[in-house]
Amino acid sequence: MRAMVTARDFDLILQGATGFTGRLAAAELARRAPAGLRWAVAGRDDSRVAELADHLGVSGVVADGLDEAAVDRLAARSRVVLSCAGPFSRYGTPLVEACVRHGTHYGDLTGEMPWIRELIDQHHEACSAAGTTLVPTSGFDCVPTDLAVQAMAASLPEPAPITGFFQVRGGLNGGTLASGMHLYERWTPADFAHPYLLDPQPRASLRAAPPHPGRGFVFPVPALKGWGAPFLMSPVNERVTRRSAALLAEDGQGYGDGFRYDEHLLVGSRLRARMMTGALGVANGLLTRPGGRRLLRFFGPKPGKGPSERSIRDGFARLTLVAGPLEQPAAVRRWNWNGDPSNLITVRCLVQTGLALAAGEARRGGVLTPATALGPRLLERLTGIGAVEEAVTD
C-alpha cells in the first residue's frame, strides 16, 4: 500500500548539488527534466546554492546534511530526493531517516556497503509497508551491472552463473575519493567481506549459493580473447546484484537456483592483468592504513575537484556478460556506456532514477536495488537518452 503523501512544493530536490558531482548532476537534470517538473537544488552553503539555482533558473534550498531539522524540512517539501552529498554514511543518515518519516522516495550514489546494510536493517520493512522507495547505489555503482544482469538472466532459457567483465576509462573526483577513505575509516574489510552481505538473509543465501568458480586473481577468458583481473567496483556490484536476485525470488521472479554473479576487469594480456592486480592491491593498502589515507588526501583530488570536461566526455565503460562456462558460454551480451564512469555515467544513472521515481514508475517500496525498484524501465530510459547501447556480439 502506498504511503499517503501530502502536497509538496517540489517533485524532486537534488541535495549536494554544489559539489563537483552535484553540479554535474544538476546540469544533467536541467537537460533532462520534463516540462512541468518542479525541482530544486540544495546544499549547505547559502551563497553557492543561490548562485547555482540562479544559473539554472530553479529554486534553491539550504540544508546541511548534519542538521536534522533542516533535512527534515527538505524531505517534507519534495516527493523525491536525490543526493550527491557523500560520504553517505556521514551525511546521508539524517536525510534518509527524514525521507522515511515523510514517505519521500530517495536515491543516491553510495557504494558504502555496511551503511547500505544498516539502511536495510532499519528501514526496509517499514518502507515496504509504506510504499516508500529508497534506492542507494543509483550511480555507476550499481545501475549498469544490476540492469544488465537482470536483462541477461531474463533472456536465458535456463538459470546459469553469469560473469561480468568491465573495460573502463575515466577519472577520479575528490568526493569519490573522500567516500572511499571514509569507508575504511569507519569499517574494516571484514565488515563487508560477506559475499551476500546485502541479501535479506545473508547466511541462508550463502548456504544455498552455487559453488564459487575458484578462479585466481588473474585468469584467461577464452570467449573474450582476454584476461580477467580484479575490478575495483566488483565487491559492491556483486552484492547489489545478488540482493536483486534474492528480492525478486521472494516475488517468484528470481534468476533461478543456478544463478551466481561474479565480476572482473577485462584486459588484453596476462602481464596487463598482473599489473592491474598489483595496482589494485596498492590502492587497497593505502585505503586501509591511516598513513596511506594521509598520502591520498595530500596527493589525490580534493573534494570539489575532478577531471576536465574533455576527460569526462571521452571516458567510457563496456560491460560484457558471459553466461555459463567461460570456455563455451551459453550466451554473451555487451553494453557500451558513454562517458566517464565516475563523473558522467553515474550522474545520468542517478538523474534517470530520480525522474523515474518522480514519474511514479517504482515497482514497490523498500530499501531496493535499481533492478528491483525500477527494472527494465530504467534501462529503457538510459537507452533513450543515449547513455548506453547494447552491442551486437558474435
pLDDT tens-digit map of 121-141? 999 999 999 999 999 999 999
Q: Would you state the torsion angle of the CA atoms of residues 150, 139, 266, 237, taken in this order, to the nearest 10 degrees? A: -60
Separation between Cα atoms, residue 184 and residue 111, nearest integer Å: 12
Coil vs helix vs strand at 337: strand
Q: How confident is the model at residue 5 (pLDDT cuts 50, 70, 90)?
A: very low
Residue 320: its pLDDT value, please? 98
Q: Delimit the domains of the chain by residue range.
A: 10-140+346-382, 143-341
Residue 3: its pLDDT value, please? 42
Q: How confident is the model at residue 368 (pLDDT cuts 50, 70, 90)?
A: very high
Coil vs helix vs strand at 311: helix
Q: Determine contact, residues 353/368, Cβ cutoff 8 Å.
A: no
Residue 97 has pLDDT above 90, yes or no: yes
Listed range (79-88, 278-287, 296-305) with the worst mean pLDDT: 296-305
Residue 145 has pLDDT above 60, yes or no: yes
Q: How confident is the model at residue 307 (pLDDT cuts 50, 70, 90)?
A: confident
Kindly report, residue by residue over 310-347, the tens digit of the pLDDT.
889 999 999 999 999 999 999 999 999 999 999 999 99
Residue 394: its pLDDT value, please? 60
Write the CATH number of the domain with boundaries 10-140+346-382.
3.40.50.720
Residue 6: its pLDDT value, please? 58
Separation between Cα atoms, residue 305 and residue 69, nearest integer Å: 29
Q: Which three cell numbers stand for residue 208?
A: 544455498
Residue type, 309: E
Q: Determine contact, residues 98/76, Cβ cutoff 8 Å.
A: yes
The pLDDT > 70 percentage for the chain reads: 98
149-159: average pLDDT? 95
Q: What is the mean pLDDT of the chain?
A: 93
Name the more confident of 362 and 1.
362
CA triple 360-366-368, angle to 5 deg: 85
Number of residues that this document lists for the chain: 394
The pLDDT > 90 percentage for the chain reads: 79
Residue 110 has pLDDT above 80, yes or no: yes
